[in-house]
Structure 1
Amino acid sequence: MPSKYRNFRNNVPWLILFLEAVFIVLFFFSTGDASISNISYPVFQDVNHMVIFGFGFFLTFLKRYGFSSTGFNLLIIVLGVQCSVLIEDLLAFLFQSENEDGLKRITKATMSMTAVAISTGAVLGKTNPMQLILMTVVEIIVFRMSRWINNMFLQVPDNVSLMHVHLFGAYFSLAVSSRFSEPSPSSKKNASTSKSDLFSMLGTLFLWVFWPSFNSVLAADSKMKAIYNTYFALAVSAVTAFMLSVLTTKDGKFRMTHIHSAVLAGGITVGYTAHNIEYPWIAMILGLLSSVIAVLGSYCLERCLNPALKIHDTSGVHFTFGLPAVLGALAQVVLLVIQNWTNSPRLGYLVMIPLGAFCLTISVALIAGFITGLILNLKVFKTVPVLKYFEDQFYWEFPHLAVGF
């Protein structure tokens, strides 16, 4: 433990200091106007609460990893937001486009960090802080490049391209996780307690409450419609999660893991289309289907697909975020066909745009995630030994603990 701790102390602080120094120097040349904005501060605050409070507590379900789940989440979010804002400035400079106002830049950067927060869930407890920081920087750069391609070449609107954040984060993290050793099935640390589940459910409630703001913040002309549809999709997915939890457990009781993973599915699925769904019953159907996919997907993936592919998904990001995002992308195509059925000459072209954006996003996420996983497992990054997975005490002080942990 002491030798590992010295290595941790000698590397991580200097990496953080180096990155922060680079950010400060680059912000010196930044030209964004922070004085005016077409986004209100309360809406930005909702998004910020989601990413900091929501995901911070959402990932606290491991009984011995609560400090790291919340602490490391804050660290990578604040570093990643700065990096994301600078990437936006760089793209604006390279393509001579007009800089957005300050609050909009930081709001989009915070929304982009949702991808990293999701990705952290798949490798939770298996990565050290240096690996997390490097994964954050790489992922936020690659995700922004993916969005830029979608915006420039496929003409996908900004508010829609940012909804790919769930899809990208889920599949990027699964590819990264495939490069890490699986924990022992008999490990007692890879488990939750009633207290850790309660804290995790608190994070879920934060995310649920603020999700309408997330889906509507960039919807310029249809903000109210996006809020309305997102709320009903979330409501139905929550109700369906409770129903399926009772039906799928042997003793006929509610299971917290089902509620934890499925109540958010409706908000993820409807994100692509919340701004243009005309009738709430459509959003409600999407909410129901997304919750079914999340609950049933947890059984199929954990028992069949993940063991076959040797992927250990610590917090179940695949069925919590990945599958509902895939359903949302497919629903976007179906609704587009229905709405433009009479415009047959352009229908094929209109359908290919969302399909192309979906395929591009998931392909870039998998390829970049696989390469990132290989890099993070190089010896220089001191990969956490399997016996030390899911262990807070490896990084945090616990002066009140006299013996054991």
Structure 2
Amino acid sequence: MNTQTFQRLQSEATKKRSTMLKIVTGMLLGISGTLLFLNIFGSQEQNVSKVMNLATFNQWASYGQCNLFADTGFGGRKIVLYPGYKGNLGNLQPGFNDELSSIQIGSGLRVLFCSNNNCEGNEWSDKFELLGPYNAPFLSVNDWVSYIEVYNYDENVDPRVMIIGGSQFNIDRSGTFPPGQYFSADLKRNGIDIPRYPGGASSIVVPKNLIAYVYKQDYLQGEMKTINGPAQIDLTTYEGGAWNDNIGSMVISKLTFTPIVITGYWYKVIASTDQISASVETTSGISTTKTNSQEIQASLSLGFEVGSELIGQKASISGTVAKAVSRSVDSTLSQSGTYKIQAQCSNPQRVKMSLWQWRMSGIKNGVEVMDMKDNEFICKTGDQSPRCPVGFCQDNECTICKPGTYQ
């Protein structure tokens, strides 16, 4: 074989190898592209699926209209109900008994769903109630509903808190609660199981004109949390999930403002000629069945009176001073329960020494609604009370007040 022939054959072989490399590379790129497309498409499909499985509060149904769907994702046969409807779904033509798989509720509606005809049954899990606007593309109680009642709902006239048993506001069970006091048995009668059970509260919706005081134990006991409306809270993630399935009782109050007569005063805890060390209670002292922290704060900001023990008679302080005092006691007003703290007064001279605690009382319509015991103390010689409200003492003995304290 001559040199030219060898070079030509070598060149052809090189071209073939190059062509094969291009083919293989093209195939690999094609496969990679396909996998990338499938991965992106699959990821997008999963994200869409995830979004479609989340409950929302958008206005997807028209005002005053409740849409029922036979399939998840708002698919399949559709039934439209309006206020005033009460009946068994099996009586519709054609029947719709045990077919409900997704729902859209327009604003202006409160809708009750029951598993049994005529809403019979005494189990807590036999029914759930929702407020519009609300949309659930998936129901854990799929193909379960046999009876529905549809009511008009005006948040301004009949505001209600909505509690849902599923995370991210998805339906497990649910109930609606107008202003009032609710123990565990009351929650259960309205579709929410007792604390530490899977059917307990996992989401809560509080409208703008309500405030909810929720407790971890029955009979308004245990840790308390104040939820001001408007609020939509997923309890599975709120405060690390500490409140998920953990509402045992609650008080729902309207955010109406009724002025409360508030008096602040220094209370003598103990007097001694020795060093003082005393365990003292601190508490907000708010009666949540009669008032709420908003009313207290609003009344405080208008000014309050200082008790007679301070200056021999009651005296009013200005709104500016009242707001400063309000900020000072805010942590105590917002705390739940009663706590003990250790208060101390040094007394190296062994003179008569008194320990004083700042307290505030509130009277609404002739009834005491607050008996706050703050975490602010003053140690002073003798038995005479401090003269100034908390935070406005000019000297260590609190015998001189900052200018402008009293009106």
Q: Name whichever structure is richer in helix by fraction.
A: 1
Higher relative contact order (CA 8 A, sep 6+): 1
| TM-score in same-fold range (> 0.5) | no
Please tell me whether Structure 1 or Structure 2 has the larger radius of gyration of its CA atoms.
2
TM tier relative to shorter chain: under 0.3
Normalising by structure 2, we get a TM-score of: 0.22
